[in-house]
Structure 1
Amino acid sequence: MAPVTEEEFGKTEAGENVSRYTLTNNNVLVRVLNYGATITDILVPDKHGNVDDISLGFDDITGYQDNTPYIGTVIGRVANRIAGAKFSLDGKTYNLAANHGSNFIHGGVKGFNKVVWTANVVDGKKLQLRYVSDDGEEGFPGEVTTTVTYELTDDNQLFIQYEARTTKTTPINLTNHAYFNMAGHSAGHIDDHVVRINSDAYAVLDDTFIPTGEIKDVAGTPYDLRSPVRLGDHMTSVPGEKGYTVSYNLEDSGTLKHVARVEHPPSGRVLEMSTTEPSVMFYTSYYLDATGKGGATYGKFGAFCLEAQHHPDSVNQPSFPCTVLRPGETYRQTTVYRFSVDSQ
């Protein structure tokens, strides 16, 4: 595994320097910005040895500053939605930005995806990014110090490890919002991807993607992906024909477990995911609309996301696993993406 390297990637509108870091081994190359702790590129070979970039992204810092789909970024301090853009803790109500209709989404107006993180290369092979979120930032209580560490191993596993501490009681729900297309970021659709997700249940969402509180068995529903499913055969069978925006329930919260496998048979590329989180949001990009790297058009059903996290609106759902972090505690999460090739 080669040492992590750094290169300039431009300046933000505020004049802050942005760097891009490259992690490599003999098979895979991953690039990450210190802006938004963002994954910009994942280069992997197919079964014929042809290398392509399977991670959607942009060519320059302007693209990432205008990044309304949150492509590749770390989301915080709370990922996904909070109903009514408010929550209560210890008898006090906190009001947040309603930046998605009447709800809060993905960290607010300026979440963790829109800040420059402090970078440190550890042991030459790990990229550690650190951000201190001020008390009151985006309406949340407490000064929160977060570190996200990226490591690419020799066996083609990309480890993403998160830690956070707070000075006041606050909700925390972090994730990475990478968009994948195993045929290549510019391939245009994911119909020929075959997906399996090891989950028996999902959180029922309303029309605004807020949980009703019900956790429902996947059996007999279009959300049952426990056996491999070709996406092109199923995305329009989901109610509303909008593909998957599903928060799958996972057992053994806190334990690293295998969650998902996505294969692209024409290329042989395979992505497997493991996480310690209690849920994973599977999203097949119905609302995606952007111009990406090299002028590529990113549109509906052009990529998929596997976002390890807690269910949406968990801070307002007492029956869901808790997202509240208190002083003296440490939030920890590990998510692993493993890349391989099926040569058959």
Structure 2
Amino acid sequence: MLKMMRVGVAALAAATALTPYAAIAADAKREAAGKLADGSAIEAITLSNGHGVSARILTYGATLQSLIGPDRDGKLADVALGYDDAATYQSHPNYFGATIGRYANRIAGGRFTLDGKTYQLPLNDRVNSLHGGGKGFDKQLWKIVSVKSGPVASVVLAFSSPDGDAGYPGALDVTVTYALDETGALKVSYDAKTTKPTVVNITNHSFFNLAGEGAPAGATFHTLVIPAQSYTPVDAHLIPTGERRPVAGTVFDFRKPRVIADGIRDGRDEQIRFGQGYDHNFALDKGLTATPQLAARLEDPASGRVLEVLSTEPGVQFYTANFLDGTFVGKGGHVYRMGDSVSLEPQKFPDSPNHPDFVSARVDPGKPYHSEMIFKLSVAPR
């Protein structure tokens, strides 16, 4: 299906990739995409615009299965790592493109205290709880609320997490909206409401290679900008120490375009050794904002593809796929390895429930959670 989609829009992409955007309606297509182990049906929704950009979303994990866009010459490529077969996301999980929650990233010891009560979460990352504790939002079958075509093509997915799910308090009703417009911007919006005070931190965990997933050179020769004067260093278990350390003079300084490979193997920095590369939260200069603002800009100089990540969240986790070890075989039979992609995950800071000075992840009844991010594909001039 993904191969057919690439071929079907190739000619149109070549004709329009470098021309001004016209008022062409975006399209949303819904189709069957296989079954889970228990026989439950998976569906896929493909959002496409008139300029060769398309996104395919699975109901399993509310997962971004593919993000396709043209290069300078109009050649299309899928820039998101993952699997061709939707059922493989269940049998071989690795967060590829998934919606992450209830709490993205790590919580130390899987414990946090709220209003004087301590909650224990499952430990699935050595001594920590990671990305929801082992059976988070990425491993749930979401329901389709709506699918729309028009000036903006969109799909809304919903999931209800019961009170006590994975140790978290409060029944949480969540929706994820994917919306693609004619500028190549894919907006991802998260909304949630709870019956009890709780903590919520939702993000998308796509793995990107702008040369095309499976491209042999990987993604470490992409250039990256992150508008952040500081980051949150971690201990040996990748839990923030609580410090906000200036990036100036370090391999974490991405305030100007920097080739990722320049610092990814610099073992003189203890933080690189702890993360086995980059696996760190950057404290964005913009902080928590009402509307999405720039969190990162990634560019592949060879193809010219650019991915801008905008967000309302105060941090972005930059991860260089350090734990991909060649045991995951993805789309087209490609073996995925360390450095084959990068993730840029807008979110609250890791372990923020245990750091009162971090932006709070608390959500209360009557005060819903809302977060937005945008993945915007474009092409840089020669």
TM-score between the two structures when normalised by the length of structure 1: 0.97
2: CA distance, partners of 1:214 / 1:51: 42
Q: Note the C-alpha offset of 1:61.
A: 2.8
1:29 is aligned, of 34, 54, 62, to 54
CA contact (8 A) 1:203 1:246 kept: yes
**What's the counterpart of residue 245 of structure 1?**
279
**What's the counterpart of residue 161 of structure 1?**
189
SS of residue paired to 2:306: strand
1:136 aligns with 2:164: yes
**What's the counterpart of residue 90 of structure 2?**
65
1:118 aligns with 2:156: no
Unpaired runs of 5+ in structure 2?
Answer: 1-24
Task: Say which structure is richer in strand.
Answer: 1
What are the superposed Cα offsets for residues 130-169 of structure 1, whole Å, 9 maximum, x if unpaired? 1000011111111000111000000100000110100011
Q: Note the C-alpha offset of 1:200.
A: 0.6
CA contact (8 A) 1:126 1:150 kept: yes
Q: Note the C-alpha offset of 1:122.
A: 4.5
CA contact (8 A) 1:254 1:333 kept: no
**What's the counterpart of residue 11 of structure 2?**
none
Unpaired runs of 5+ in structure 1?
Answer: none
1:254 aligns with 2:292: no
2: CA distance, partners of 1:92 / 1:67: 36
SS of residue paired to 2:138: helix
Counterpart mapping for 1:237-316 below 5 A? 237=266, 239=269, 240=272, 242-250=276-284, 251-255=286-290, 256-289=292-325, 290-316=328-354
Q: Note the C-alpha offset of 1:191.
A: 2.7
1: CA distance, partners of 2:145 / 2:163: 24
1:52 is aligned, of 77, 93, 97, to 77
**What's the counterpart of residue 150 of structure 1?**
178
Q: Note the C-alpha offset of 1:63.
A: 1.7
**What's the counterpart of residue 171 of structure 1?**
199
CA contact (8 A) 1:52 1:184 kept: yes
**What's the counterpart of residue 330 of structure 1?**
368
1: CA distance, partners of 2:27 / 2:307: 24
SS of residue paired to 2:243: strand
Counterpart mapping for 1:70-81 below 5 A? 70-81=95-106
1:19 aligns with 2:48: no
2: CA distance, partners of 1:305 / 1:153: 22
2: CA distance, partners of 1:38 / 1:159: 14
Q: Note the C-alpha offset of 1:7.
A: 1.2
Aligned length: 344
TM-score between the two structures when normalised by the length of structure 2: 0.88
**What's the counterpart of residue 2 of structure 1?**
26
**What's the counterpart of residue 199 of structure 1?**
228
CA contact (8 A) 2:220 2:341 kept: no
**What's the counterpart of residue 83 of structure 1?**
108
Letter in 1 for 2:26: A
1:186 aligns with 2:214: yes
Q: Note the C-alpha offset of 1:343.
A: 3.0
Letter in 1 for 2:214: S
CA contact (8 A) 1:4 1:121 kept: no
